[in-house]
Amino acid sequence: MVASDLILEALLNGLLLGGIYAVAALGLSLVFGIMDIVNLAHGHMLMVGAYVAIFLFTTFNITPIIGMIGAFVVLFALGMALQRVLLERVVGEGIEQPIIVLFGLALMLQSIGRIWVGSDAQATDIGIPGEAIDIAGATLSFPRMVTFVISILLILGTWAFLKFTTTGLAIRATAQNNSAAQYMGIDTDNIHVLTLGLGTGLAGAAGALLSMLFPITPFVGWSYLLKAFAVVVLGGVGSVAGTLVGGLILGVSENVGVLYLGGGFRDIISFSIFVLVLLVRPHGLFGSSGGGE
């Protein structure tokens, strides 16, 4: 029998972890919802963002909270270059070509990471003073509280950008109907470049945040890709609110599941949720068969 305070602790810390999962999945959701591309390299982009934060922390002693900005910028530039140089040449040639290209990119990033930094796990320190908080006997991790707040700010910032800016309106119009957006004078090619940059930038930011909580290796990309897919399926493609809710559900499910089943079941829980929601509600909790928000 698991003590009630441990269950409460798992629930609360799961919610805090779910915020980062939502940020990681938001970039994947945007790219898929707007460009109809399944970015199989998304988890490896997250891994690269984590290593950018680790490099800044170990080399210049820059807290990963600030290093997250560097990770976002590096991955934003990488995503835009990827779309402009590579994906533009294969998009429209069938669904298989972009998937094959991105799968190859994921393997390449994993191999580069293994050669460059080795296979040993690395992590960062939050870099600011603080103590865990006790609530009804449950201990809340201070790093998770900080990363949760930052995650919510990133999600709200992305939502506000899409909702209230001219560029955000153009992105949403492209998501709803690419051809109609072109007729209205929107340069959809540039929108796709910006979208992939934003999606990979969010992955980089999530990676920097995760480096404060979990050890990072060049092989974590597949695991976090699976988690991002699970969140997107839960929340629905293109829904910012759904992505947040899906991330929270996944974080809680993993933490509580690990409490009962053990740490080795964490990824199995993610995959089980992914399959179950696909069977019961393929469009997610907030999604629909139409365009994005």
DSSP run (H or E) holding 138: strand 138-140
**CA-wise closest residue to 216 among 145, 75, 120:** 120
Half-sphere exposure of 274 (CA within 13 A, CB side): 17
Give the chain's mean pLDDT. 88
pLDDT at 269: 86
Decide if pLDDT at 204 tops 80. Answer: yes
Which tokens in the block code for residue 30?
């945007």
Section 246-272 average pLDDT: 87
Question: Which stretch of DSSP H or E encloses residue 133?
Answer: strand 133-135
pLDDT bracket for residue 224 (50, 70, 90):
very high
CA–CA separation, 244 vs 20, rounded Å?
Answer: 9
